[in-house]
Structure 1
């Protein structure tokens, strides 16, 4: 069922954020910052009609495929899958526990709805290219979405994949960059600068759309435009805030890979619940 009310989609995005905070706090570890910055996208794709999928039939042949290249933000993917009905929500609090299928990075074959095992940064786009090429060879119309962190674009394999995608006309491939400008060491531009990022993707022959990654209507419009491409792959660059929705996590690189403690958890839950009212 597709949610068309924008305010309801915003509420869903905040609910996914709550799940992330609860999951990572219960685990005592995980990656909340980049999960929170991706929440609006996941609400748009999984609940707003941005992506064709069927929780009752995860192996549906004509489904759109979603590859989480930045696999460390598995909490936001698990939250979206559970809220969609791929598996019981009660499992979310088993994140990173011994024996759970909700590992710290997603594993194909363990969790319904997980298309690829990811976590080694810089490799997801290559996987997505393979999926998109298979669809083209099989004359399928499904789209392949690949969510990348901006920090992982510092790895060269992404640009090899970008060249491949343009060479083979993978027009049903949509790369989405979470441009929150922070990685585990701090500002991306202080590590290995990425700017001007849109021009880089354009120079590799891709369509490029730059958006506010927290504006759900803009996200859905960008996905719709990308889906109209008949020759080139599309890169959607989302300008986002790392830790979005939780004041002390916003633009704070220390929460790239650190869970909230008990007091921080209570404050985060309070702020997110207020944002849903």
Structure 2
């Protein structure tokens, strides 16, 4: 399946501005609760911008359209980032931003598919997302549905055996409608991912499992877009993976420098400061 023709123009708004808007919305939601996995949201914003405004086929007014590409959030604690891009895409109304994490909100702090339009799965049990993606990709093929399944997972999930079982299955079934996106920020709750259970060399390992693999700077939008295009243009009947090296808290330097960045502590008086710093770097 050659997927290159599925690229969709979403408007004249630049991807740089889309990524900036995603970061800003995530910060505003974090400010509502005074907490959140804001480091991950800021770091993955460029990948989400390229996903929703360059790669994915979807209809904002009809989130369950059968022909849509599926975007799976394996890492449920990244929900704040997904909500931000769903608002930017027009799938969620922006006026719900201030309900983030509240009782009866459609945006709980950890993502739940039953609550939120545009959220395909309830992630959070790390290591399950890719297996679900494999099953979903197989089902779409059996229905002759040309949709593509994208699965966003974390580097911590590379330490889960279920991830590699799913990787073997995806290659065995020649799932060329499956693209795995790995956010490699080298952070887990207990320390650096490379120190907890090192998975390197990653591209070579995925290739050994039968996947087409790339590794790029996930905060370089041009490189991210090129990686999506290259993955979709692969002619071999195999799944594809893109490993994105990202910086936690990207766009807010004083947070980037925090020593512990898996769950960044932002003090009450720092939210406005973070928003002001981000504003200084707003793209034209």
- TM-score of the two chains, using structure 1 as the length reference: 0.94
Question: What residue number does 1:107 align with?
Answer: 112
Q: What displacement does 1:220 show? A: 1.9
**Which secondary structure does the structure 2 equivalent of 1:182 belong to?**
coil
Residue 208 (structure 2) pairs with residue 196 (structure 1): no
On the 8 A contact 2:34/2:268 being kept in 1, the answer is no
Question: What residue number does 1:166 align with?
Answer: 171
Residue 181 (structure 2) pairs with residue 176 (structure 1): yes
Question: What residue number does 2:249 align with?
Answer: 243
Residue 270 (structure 2) pairs with residue 257 (structure 1): no
Question: What residue number does 1:128 align with?
Answer: 133
On the 8 A contact 1:25/1:259 being kept in 2, the answer is no
Q: Distance in 1 between matches of 2:63 and 2:114?
A: 11
Deviations 1:14-57 (A, max 9, x none): 1111111111121123211111111001111112x211111111
On the 8 A contact 1:242/1:251 being kept in 2, the answer is no
Q: Distance in 2 between matches of 1:83 and 1:4?
A: 12
Q: What displacement does 1:263 show? A: 2.0
Question: What residue number does 1:69 align with?
Answer: 74
Which residues in structure 2 correspond to 1:1-277 (within 5 Å)?
2-3=9-10, 8-47=14-53, 49-229=54-234, 230-250=236-256, 252=258, 254-277=260-283
Q: Note the aligned Cα RMSD (angstroms).
A: 1.7
Structure 1: runs of 5+ lacking an equivalent:
none
- TM-score of the two chains, using structure 2 as the length reference: 0.92
1:252/1:171 CA distance change after superposition, 3 Å: farther
Q: What displacement does 1:139 show? A: 1.4
Deviations 1:99-129 (A, max 9, x none): 2121112211321111111111111111111
Q: What displacement does 1:258 show? A: 3.8
Paired positions, count: 275
Deviations 1:122-142 (A, max 9, x none): 111111111111111111111
Q: What displacement does 1:259 show? A: 4.8
Q: What displacement does 1:163 show? A: 0.4
Q: Distance in 2 between matches of 1:71 and 1:250?
A: 22
Q: What displacement does 1:61 show? A: 0.9
Structure 1 segments, 4+ long, off by >6 Å, are none
**Which secondary structure does the structure 1 equivalent of 2:20 belong to?**
helix
On the 8 A contact 1:31/1:255 being kept in 2, the answer is no
On the 8 A contact 2:216/2:242 being kept in 1, the answer is yes
